[in-house]
Chains A and B, each alone.
Chain A
């Protein structure tokens, strides 16, 4: 596990979220430190996506506080748009802007939000596209790309904003199996470069190899957390064991 020094980059305190009567997250607490890679695992409906979406306020928490990089996201007076530029997000369904080229997907927020010059935005776009291995696709339309390529472009789009932390919500779940590897490779290289990452995933091998820490969630609470080797390799809680057994032996 990386040395946890200084202020955490994300601090979640007493976070709760309900949709109507349905309490999806209850009293979540935790920190994520600079350079850490944290994987969140757990059964469907356990609140993993909701937790991730609360961190950048795509969902408004019912109660609790979330501080990212010193900015209290849950403060109603915070400049949420400015705060979000420091948090990259990658979605299960890619969500590339379908009416824009790959280049425009990577530059549109740099230009309008960060107010970068056209030349600089282009330079950053070319550089980040190279990081995900898709330089030759810069003028392609998103719809002409495979799912794996679209997801790598989506990662590059988020990276173009120079975020301090990246959130991934099941980035490979919508992909054909043979395309999963390319996306995981990009994420692994990001982790190696020291990017702070929170990754909701069902890819246990990735979590075991890349994550510094794994959170297991069920029914809106964090049931177990710790180093990947412990949570995945030798879980303490019965629910974690049961979940892992089902995920690792889907037919039996």
Chain B
């Protein structure tokens, strides 16, 4: 049998398996109940406009605040991680390993219930707590991404900058970080996607009606309506954020993928 023939046959077998699995699912599923539970249009319609004006808005707000804090922390951590000062390096490593090793849920629980107890005088509102929890979760991952980006900038770029009389911090700000950011823009966009999903953990902290993000709203609606349709509605909302972001990430990768090599 020729090689081409063999791979053709194996392709047909793969198709056949897929069709059998799909057919099994279609035949076995109880479509009537499924539609009733997950696709109740009345329930879906009842969620508007709050699902957009409150919940989606809050999800985006939490994500962006967490991302902003995480980015600032991550840049500082990455610079500490690459510092020639030993204690800075160790601190950064401990922080990064600590927060990367914890489930986001645990960070939320500890921050959500710990921060207000630890700093009662600050009168921390929920938004700040959520922002800190998301920022901590994001910063450990982003710090490693940024460190890799900085290290991907060729050493010759720094040497050229230093030879022109730039201080090491000036060279970092003017030459290294701008080049590093082009390299890490796609992975940072991916981090934004992950964070969008992590923001759903805010529901475990409880919230006022006006403070609900998508996941919290869905839970409330499910209790009210005894239908699982709200899950489908918020799933579509998450996808409406994450799919464009992942498209953007691929676009950036194409545009900047070649930058960072020596000119």
Contacts and interface: CB of A to CB of B under 8 A. Distances in A.
Contacts, number: 81
Given A93-B262, A109-B165, A150-B263, A99 B160 contact: no
B164 interface: yes
B263 A96 contact: yes
A124 interface: no
B206 to A, nearest CB: 46
B260 A95 contact: no
Contacts of B165: 81-82, 84-85, 109, 113-114, 161
A157 interface: yes
B157 A98 contact: yes
Given A93-B262, A150-B263, A98 B179 contact: yes
Residue among B154, B167, B174 with max Cβ neighbours from chain A (10 Å): B174
Contacts of B160: 89, 91, 95-97, 154, 157
Interface string A65-109: 000000000000000011011011101011111110000000011
Contacts of A94: 262-263
B155 to A, nearest CB: 9
B161 interface: yes
A83 B179 CA distance: 26
A158 interface: yes
Interface size bucket, B side?
A: 20 to 34
Contacts of B178: 99
A196 B154 CA distance: 29
Q: Could you tell me the dominant secondary structure of chain B's interface residues?
A: helix
Contact of A84 (B164, B174, B262): B164
A114 B179 CA distance: 23
A156 to B, nearest CB: 12
Contact of A97 (B163, B182, B263): B263
A112 B259 CA distance: 24
Given A93-B156, A112-B174, A98 B164 contact: no
A95 B170 CA distance: 17
A98 B261 CA distance: 8
A50 interface: no
Contacts of B162: 58, 81, 84
Contacts of A95: 154, 156-157, 159-160, 262-263
Given A99-B259, A150-B263, A109 B156 contact: no
B159 to A, nearest CB: 6
A109 B166 contact: yes
Interface residues of A, number: 31
B163 A98 contact: no
A97 B166 contact: no
B163 A81 contact: no
A143 interface: yes
Interface in B141-192: 154, 156-157, 159-167, 170, 174-175, 178-179, 182
B255 to A, nearest CB: 13
A173 B37 CA distance: 72
A152 B259 CA distance: 21
Contacts of A88: 163
A98 B156 CA distance: 11
Nearest to B180: A99
Interface string A42-82: 00000000000000101000000000000000000000011
A220 interface: no
A113 B156 contact: no
A109 B164 contact: yes
A109 B160 CA distance: 10
A35 interface: no
The 7 closest A-B pairs by CB, nearest first: A142-B263, A85-B165, A109-B164, A98-B263, A95-B160, A89-B163, A95-B156
